[in-house]
Amino acid sequence: MGLSVKQFSKPLLIVWIMAYIGLISAIVVNMQQARERVVDAPDQVRQKDQSDWEAWVNKSNQHQDGQLPVERKEIDLKYRPVSNMTTLLTQYYGVCLTGLIVFSTLIFGAVVYMFHGVTGAKAAGPITLEQELAGMQSGEERN
């Protein structure tokens, strides 16, 4: 069976590249703004965040009376989870940004691949058995 590689036209390629650059730029700008909001947050916001965490832990630990269907270990107040926004956007900013860019690139690539497969020049629908056999025979004749 003869397979032909579908190529992007030059204008379409430029549109996809511009869309990708726009996507990555939006991700970087939004992550930078989020980091600035967290880093520049006043002490009152940080204290409220800490007190909210402590209140949630205390409330969660109070429900450990054996009345619930699932028993959990008590949460230690000294160890705050890594999912804290301050920790993520200060200590793990590079990891978060890299992960967002990598996974966004993969999703963008999959969307482009599927879009190109649906709208490409050879996207004429399914072929018949006769067409497939004819393609296989012409491939064998070339060898």
In the 8-state DSSP scheme, what is residue 41? -
pTM of the model: 0.60
- Which of the pair, 111 or 58, is modelled with greater confidence? 111
Inter-residue long-range contacts of 87-90, CB under 8 Å, 24+ positions, other chains counted: 89/31, 89/34, 89/35, 89/38, 89/39, 90/35, 90/38, 90/39
Q: What's residue 77's pLDDT?
A: 64
Q: In the predicted model, is pLDDT for residue 123 greater than 80? A: no
Q: What's residue 24's pLDDT?
A: 97
Count CB atoms within 10 A of the CB of residue 62: 9
Q: What's residue 16's pLDDT?
A: 92
Query: For the chain, what are the domain ranges?
Result: 12-17+33-38+81-143
- Which of the pair, 51 or 80, is modelled with greater confidence? 51
Q: In the predicted model, is pLDDT for residue 73 greater than 60? A: yes
- Which of the pair, 41 or 37, is modelled with greater confidence? 37
What is Dmax (Cα atoms) for the chain?
79
